[in-house]
Amino acid sequence: MDLNERPVIPEPVPTITEPPRAGEAHILSQQGTPLTDRAALEAPTMVSVKDLNLFYGRKQALHGINLEVGKNTVMALIGPSGCGKSTLLRCINRMNDLIDNVRIDGHVRVGQSDIYAPDVDVIGLRMRMGMVFQKSNPFPKSIYENVAYGLRVQGVKNRAVLDEAVERSLISAGLWDEVKDRLNESGLGLSGGQQQRLCIARALAVKPEVLLMDEPCSALDPLATSRIEELIFELKRDFTIVIVTHNMQQAARVSDFTAFFWMGKLIEVGLTEKLFTNPRERMTEDYISGRFG
């Protein structure tokens, strides 16, 4: 991929002349056409972060973040290393609960519910979210069991349901043709790129409402990367996606919105096309043009 190439941005569909209403946006996106700017802007909010501060011990990692992610849109989080992208992502499914000495204030809403409310069911919340980690982390189990894991812990025992979910997820992750004859072999026997797609399939199997992806392509070759990007494009029809990436082209290609972080602060968020061609902040421009970070 030529780094100096101008980011490719999904072409707006020219046939839509009138601004669609919110409901229509959803229907349109399900038909597989890329969202127009307007449609993306009018998508109902799926994830909303309000005044979020996060402290690791005494060190503050996130400063007053405000961010909204629309249903069936892709939000890309970019920014230099250590700026808090992963931290924010892990706030959305409360994975930061697992770390000692984390203090969080502010609100995160997923759908209608405040996920940091005292009575919230964390397990139930995580079942509604899929997460793909920076480094592929399949279980030392068979390919089949890897994908079926999420359903199994939800108590699904029906073989037909599991079979269907495994096949569907592996097909959407673009791995089915490569593994359909060896579903009972260990997931660790796959190549790095295949393992990452296996992890994506595992996250898809439970039909999550929101898919959180932390640099899913960082360990992949360009070919596997473009497969995953196509995949994200397809997944957008059914899921809301938040993706962390260090690759500007990737952010430009796959996302509807982009948020730029710096030192734990959200510097700028907006339509990807606008942010990449005409950023409001000087800092954003410097970062995306590679002048720092």
Partner 1 sequence: MTETLNIPPRWRAFIRRGSAMVWLSGAALALSLLMMVGLVGYIAAKGLGFFWPSSIVQVQTSEGPILGEISAQEKAHGTDPAKTQFRVCNRDLFGQDYRWVPSADIQDPQRPADAVLVERLENGPFIGFIQDGSSGETLVLRAVDGQTLEIPRKHIVRIVPSNALGVFGKSRVYASRLWEFVAGDPRESNTEGGVFPAIFGTVMMVLLMSIAVVPLGVVAALFLREYARQGWVIRALRIAVNNLAGVPSIVFGIFGLGFFIYTVGGTLDQIFFSQKLPTPTFGTGGILWASLTLALLTVPVVIVSTEEALSAVPRSQREASLALGATKWQTIWNVVLPGALPGILTGLVLAMARGAGEVAPLMLTGVVKLAPSMPLDASFPFLHLDRKFMHLGFHIYDVGFQSPNSEAAKPMVFMTTLLLLLIVLLLNLAALRLRSRLRARVGGSSF
List residues near partner 1 by CB under 8 A: 93, 95, 98, 123-131, 133, 135, 137-141, 149-150, 152-154, 186-189, 199, 202-203, 206
How many helices (H) and strands (E) the chain has is answered by 12, 10
Among ligand ATP, partner 1, Mg ion, none, the one that 174 touches (CB under a kind-dependent 5 to 8 A) is none
Number of residues that bind Mg ion (CB under 5 A): 1
Structure tokens at 197: 């797609």
Q: What is the DSSP letter of 79?
A: -
Task: Pick the closer one to Mg ion by CB: 86 or 194.
Answer: 86
Interface stretch with ligand ATP, choices 79-87, 120-128, 153-161, 231-239 (CB under 6 A): 79-87
Task: Pick the closer one to ligand ATP by CB: 78 or 170.
Answer: 78
Alpha carbons 266 and 260: distance in angstroms, whole number: 6
Selected binder of ligand ATP within 26, 71, 85, 236 (CB under 6 A): 85
Selected binder of ligand ATP within 39, 61, 76, 269 (CB under 6 A): 61
Interface stretch with ligand ATP, choices 85-93, 193-201, 204-212, 251-259 (CB under 6 A): 85-93
Among partner 1, Mg ion, ligand ATP, none, the one that 66 touches (CB under a kind-dependent 5 to 8 A) is none
Tell me: does residue 87 bind ligand ATP (CB under 6 A): yes
Alpha carbons 279 and 241: distance in angstroms, whole number: 22
Provide the pairing of β-strand 210-214 with 129-132: parallel
CB of 289 to ligand ATP, least distance (A): 19
Tell me: does residue 292 bind ligand ATP (CB under 6 A): no
Structure tokens at 119: 């009575």
Alpha carbons 30 and 105: distance in angstroms, whole number: 35
Task: Pick the closer one to ligand ATP by CB: 153 or 263.
Answer: 263
Provide the pairing of β-strand 257-262 with 113-114: unpaired
CA distances, 140 to each of 155, 182, 186, 187, 206 (Å): 20, 15, 6, 6, 19
Query: Is there a contact between 202 and 138 (Cβ–Cβ < 8 Å)?
Result: yes
Query: Is there a contact between 35 and 43 (Cβ–Cβ < 8 Å)?
Result: yes
Selected binder of Mg ion within 29, 72, 73, 86 (CB under 5 A): 86
**Binding residues for Mg ion (CB under 5 A):** 86
**Binding residues for ligand ATP (CB under 6 A):** 56, 61, 81-87, 99
